[in-house]
Amino acid sequence: MTGTDSLAPLLNGRVIGLAHYASRAVLETVLSRHGLGFQEFVTLRPVAVADGPLGRDRLTDAVTGALKIDAADVHRLVGNLLRAGLVAADGPERVRVTDAGREVHGRVSAETAAVSARIYAGIPRDELAVAGRVLALVTERAEAELAAARG
């Protein structure tokens, strides 16, 4: 153990929040160059990586689960993406990514992958695995608390 290890903060909501907001600020810097907001990009992603058109209900479920927002907000975000030409309606119940949407998603993903590589550089894989397991457990428990509070 090095001298700085004993000074490292224990994982808690503040530490998680600081890491989240710092990472999100980096992503939003990239997104702003492409005229997208964070929530719009989170909404575009499932459509962009789908093998074909995606059902609106499935998309709504994915985005409400990821962002913890309500369905009306997701519908507004989908509307923004439709108006921007990044997704297109494929009948009344499905949307598909357009060439422009695929291109923007690909560029943002490539740019953020490069930044992420720099951010995570030098962190041992076993430490990333431990952090990943702990954060997955924290997420699971927080989602259970949220469901109980809403239910």
> Has residue 9 been placed in a domain?
no
Quick one: 140 and 98 in the same domain? no
pTM given for the model: 0.87
Check whether residue 88 and residue 142 sit in a common domain.
Answer: no
Kindly state whether residues 128 and 69 are assigned to the same domain.
no
The predicted pLDDT at position 136 comes to 96
CATH code of the domain covering residue 53: 1.10.10.10
Q: Are residues 111 and 77 in the same domain?
A: yes
Looking at the structure, do residues 41 and 114 belong to the same domain, yes or no? yes
Angstrom distance (rounded) from CA 81 to CA 128: 34
Note whether 72 and 143 are same-domain residues: no
Structural domain span for residue 113: 36-120
Instruction: Check whether residue 108 and residue 132 sit in a common domain.
Output: no
pLDDT digits (tens, 9 = 90+) for 98-134: 999 999 999 999 999 999 999 999 999 999 999 999 9
Q: What's the distance, Cα to Cα, between the start and end of the chain in Å?
A: 45
CB distance 96 to 53 below 8 Å: yes
Total structural domains within the chain: 2
Q: Are residues 58 and 127 in the same domain?
A: no
For 17-71, how does the pLDDT look when each residue is reduced to its tens digit (9 = 90+)? Answer: 999 999 999 999 999 999 999 999 999 999 999 999 999 999 999 999 999 999 9
